Structures are given as C-alpha cells and as structure tokens.
Structure 1
Amino acid sequence: MSNRSLSPLSLFRDGHLTLGVTLPIRETELSSVDFMQQVELATAAEQLGFSAVWVRDVPLNGPWYPETFGHPDPMVILGAIAARTSHIALGTAATVLTLRHPLHIAKAAISLDHLSHGRFVLGLGSGDRRQEFTAFEADSANRKELYRNHWSRLAAALEQPPRILLPLPDPAAAFELRPAAVTDIPMLAVGSGGQTLEWIARNAAGWATYHRPPQVQRDRYMLWRRAVDRASPGQFRSFTVALRVELLNDPRAPAGPIELGYRTGARQFLEILEAMRDDGVHHVMLTLLPSRIPPREKLAAVADLVLPGLK
C-alpha cells in the first residue's frame, strides 16, 4: 500500500483546478516536431502561468498508429525542460510501465526529481497498442499483471531509502539505487491499466482519465470518490482529465464537441473548465490541437483569457 500524494498546496488542490499543457504542440497537421521548439514552448508555458508540462510516451510509429509525427523521449526532453525552468511541474502522460523496466524508470524519475528540484510527476500507463508489445517482446495479454508487478517494483525503488525488489532472492548480491529521490515522487495512474479503481486509489497519488461528456465524467468522478473513500479513507487522491481542444481565433466562438474534447473560443473554454472544477476535477492535461494559430499564440490566448478565471 502506498500513501504517495501531492501536497494540496502544489499541483493538485481540493476544490481548485489547475491547467497543464501536453507536448508536443504543432502548428498544422503536417508539421513535424521540432524538439527544441517544444522546449521553448515549455518555458513559455511557465512564464505564462501554466501549472504543468506533460509529455507523452510513444516509443514506435507505424501504419497501425494514427499519428505520423515522431515524439521525443519523455524523460530526455523533460530533462532539457527542467534545466530551462524553475517552478512549473513536469510530468509524463504517460510512461508505458509495461514496456520499460521499472528500475530504468526509477533511475530516470529520480534523475528528473534532482534536476527539477522536486517538480517531477510520474504518470504511468499500461500501453494499449498490441504492435508495440510485439516489438518489445512482451505479451499484451499479460499487461494487467505486468502493470501491477512493475508498479510494485517501481514504487519500492522510489522510496526513501530505495528498496530493490527482486523476482527471486539472490543472497550473493546486494543492490542499491543511488542517489535516492529528493522528494516523494507522485505516481499517477493514467487510464486504468486494467486495474480496479480501488487498487488505483490504494496505490496511486491520483487517477488521470480521458475527457468524457459532462454527465458521464461526473459519474466517473463519483465512482472515483467512492473508491478513494473505501480504499484510502481520509487521504487526498487527485482526479485529472486529459482534454483535447481546437482553439478558435474568435475568443467568443461557441463550443462544440470533438473527439475527447471541444472546438471552442477561449471564453467558453473557461466556462468548460469552471464546470469541470465544480464537478471535482483537480487538473486538466490540455492538448492544443493543430490550427491556424501558431503554438505560442495559442498558449498566450489561453493564458490571457482563461488562466485568470481559474485563480
């Protein structure tokens, strides 16, 4: 059992909603990803007042994957962003826990914890693309069990001091993970990973899920609250939503639904976020979809017209 949680005074606070941005941000559907531009956009997000920068973990592309552009390795680019920023939270959304060795993840997470002076948040997913499991010589049919096993080993390695859990005891060998983390690195479950909400509430600092229509999302939040009350009574566990937004030039443009999000002007976007906050959402991982607005201008528009209303 884990009691990992973020302080209510930091990224996740009960009764409040903070807004983070997910990289990469592209200008058009045909744009490739300039990694250094993404670092610059992350520093701009900090200057504009966003609470977090999130980076996805997409190891491989192929005809079976809908996105044709290449993604940066999340740990590498977050290291570059950590060196250029001072207070914005940095997170993975989500590291594919089933396809990476938990000790490698722990070493990278602890390194980012040191580089960022305690700003790193470790989002963890189980992976849902069968082709990637084949490439990594893993069995997608076992991903639920693999997720739980890797989570336990990773959580132990992130303790202070770290504990190294071996599949089989080896009396001839002793292992240490140095240095230890600076802080208690939050582990978020991104998606369910094939686990029950009670398991997530018991083991994770919070749960991140995709956008759903408002009534469906309210129901999911209530399910989460009941799971937290059963599995971790009295503990704070955050609720995060990953939201896709196509921001329109006209800030007064009305909102309309798209897959996993909205097409909207900035003013109605604020109303959407306020309603999400009232429904119990603590944080939004914002994906700004390609549009005619340059990425830096999109960030500035959200910062100018949306962020002040969330304070």
Structure 2
Amino acid sequence: MNPFDKLYKPGKMTLGIEFPLDNDWSTEGNRKRLEDNRPFGVPDISNHLELAQQIDEAGFAALWMRDVPIYDPNFGDGAQLFDTLPYLGYLSAATKNILLGTAAIVLPLQQPIKLAKAAATIENLSDGRLLLGLGLGDRPVEFPMYNIDYKKDLKSLDKILTLLKKLGKQIAI
C-alpha cells in the first residue's frame, strides 16, 4: 500500500489531526498542569493512546506528530517535546488504519542511517502507514545545541536525502 493513496484522493478532501491535543493554556489547564507537576509547555500525553484509537476509528486519514527537539519557551508554543519516532511506533500498535505522519522531522539534526532505521521500524510495525515528513527546522536555538552550523550544513542535505531514499525505498518520504 502506498500511504499517499489514502491521503490524496482525487476530488476529495481528507482530514488529519496533529498531536499533541493538549497545551491547554486556560486557567483550568494551567491548574491541571501544576497538579500533574508538568513544566510549562509540556503536553499531557496520558490519554493519547485512547485518543489515537478514537481518531483511527472515526476514519481520519492521518495522525501527525511534530518534531521539536528542544523546547524554547520564547518561541511561542510547546509543540511536541517527546521523541516523535518512538512515539509513533507506540501509537502504531494501538491503531489499524490511520496514517502516521511526521510534520516534520528536523533533518539537519538527524543522523541519516539511524533515522532510516527508525523509520523502517515504524513502517514495519504499522504495516506501511508511515508518512515521513522532513523539514529544515525553524527554531534557531536548536542548531548550536547540536553543534551544527545551520548555513554550512544545509549544503549536505541533498546527500542526506539521497541516502535516506536509498536506505528506505519503501518509506513514503
């Protein structure tokens, strides 16, 4: 199965949902966060397995997960602070039909062979439901923390992408 066939249907619109569905900034949400002893910006993922199953059963096309390697409180959102790929592997065991997408893995911060191996693992666990979205990153604070010179290392991204495509021929990238 090509996951894109499920995602793109000529003449039809498909819908997906992006996790986390938390980060409740209301007074009640803040109270619950403090009760749970969660730092500001860290989502409550305790019900994600159940939510993923409900989303799957409701017929949504995809469940998306953002890759935010470093929490920057000045950026404006908490986003997805947990490691995206193991998390999708966990959710793949609880779902049957929904595509599982990354929106998007910050490619310059990844080791290509390890990324291809992790993606292939999820691809197999999920029976071909992985959509591996890749991006260049948008949070400047992350790159120095990984000892990466963003402008210099962008030049090597074509090589990394070519390697990923060779390593993961069956993964929808």
TM range (shorter): 0.7 to 0.9
Per the TM alignment, residue 143 of structure 1 is displaced from its structure 2 partner at its CA by 4.6
Per the TM alignment, residue 6 of structure 1 is displaced from its structure 2 partner at its CA by 4.7
TM-score (norm 1): 0.48
Structure 2 match to 1:126:
136
User: Share of identical aligned residues, percent?
Assistant: 34
TM-score (norm 2): 0.83
Per the TM alignment, residue 149 of structure 1 is displaced from its structure 2 partner at its CA by 2.1
Structure 1 match to 2:172:
186
Structure 2: distance between partners of 1:33 and 1:144 = 31
Per the TM alignment, residue 116 of structure 1 is displaced from its structure 2 partner at its CA by 0.3
User: Secondary structure of the residue that 1:21 maps to in structure 2?
Assistant: strand
User: Secondary structure of the residue that 1:34 maps to in structure 2?
Assistant: coil
Per the TM alignment, residue 68 of structure 1 is displaced from its structure 2 partner at its CA by 4.1
* 5+ long unaligned stretches in structure 2: 34-41
Question: 1:76-122 CA deviation, whole Å, 9 max, x = no partner?
Answer: 11111100011111011001111001111100110001100111110
Residues 39 and 77 in structure 1, CA contact (< 8 A), matched pair in contact too: no
Q: Which has the higher strand share?
A: 1
Residues 22 and 53 in structure 1, CA contact (< 8 A), matched pair in contact too: yes
Structure 1 match to 2:8:
12
Q: Which amino acid aligns with 2:113?
A: L
**Residues 59, 89 of structure 1: CA spacing in aligned structure 2 closer, same or farther, 3 A cutoff?**
same
Residue 161 of structure 2 corresponds to residue 151 of structure 1: yes
User: Secondary structure of the residue that 1:33 maps to in structure 2?
Assistant: coil
Equivalences for residues 91-240 of structure 1 within 5 A: 91-159=101-169, 184-187=170-173
Residues 21 and 54 in structure 1, CA contact (< 8 A), matched pair in contact too: yes
Structure 1: distance between partners of 2:86 and 2:171 = 17
Question: 1:219-264 CA deviation, whole Å, 9 max, x = no partner?
Answer: xxxxxxxxxxxxxxxxxxxxxxxxxxxxxxxxxxxxxxxxxxxxxx
Structure 1 match to 2:21:
25
Residues 65 and 101 in structure 2, CA contact (< 8 A), matched pair in contact too: yes
Q: Which amino acid aligns with 1:12?
A: Y
Q: Which has the higher helix share?
A: 2
Per the TM alignment, residue 129 of structure 1 is displaced from its structure 2 partner at its CA by 1.8
* 5+ long unaligned stretches in structure 1: 160-183, 188-311
1:34 to 44, 47, 66: 44
**Residues 13, 143 of structure 1: CA spacing in aligned structure 2 closer, same or farther, 3 A cutoff?**
farther
**Residues 118, 23 of structure 1: CA spacing in aligned structure 2 closer, same or farther, 3 A cutoff?**
same
Q: Over alpha carbons, which structure has the higher Rg?
A: 1
Structure 2: distance between partners of 1:123 and 1:37 = 24
